[in-house]
Amino acid sequence: MYMYVLSISLSIDASSLREELAITNLDPKEAHAKFVERVKDNKQATENMSNKIEATQNEVDRLRYSSYVLTNVYLRCECIY
C-alpha cells in the first residue's frame, strides 16, 4: 500500500513540475496569470480538504459518543438481569 501511495505522490509531483516548466516558458504576463490561477486552485483544494477533515472528525466524534451511550445502556441492562 505504501509503495502505491508513493507512486501516486511521485506521479502528481512529476505532473506538477511539468506544468510549472510549461508555465515558465510562457510570456511573463501569461505565466503570472497561470501561477495565480494555480495558487487559487491550490487554496480551494486546501479549503475543500479542510472541510472534509472537519466533517470526518465530527462523524468520528458522533460515532464515539454513540458507542459510549450504547455501551452504557448495554451494561445497565446486564446489571438489571
pLDDT in tens, 38-77: 899 999 999 999 999 999 999 999 999 999 998 888 777 7
Local confidence band at 9 (pLDDT 50, 70, 90 cut-offs): confident
62: which 3 cell numbers? 458522533
Grid cell 477533515 is found at: 53
Note down the domain range covering 38: 2-80
Euclidean distance between CA atoms 68 and 78, whole angstroms: 15
pLDDT in tens, 13-36: 788 888 888 888 999 999 999 989
| pTM (predicted TM-score) | 0.63
Structural domains counted in the chain: 1
1 has a pLDDT exceeding 70: no
pLDDT for the residue numbered 54? 98
Within 13 A of 7's CA, how many CA atoms are on the CB side?
4
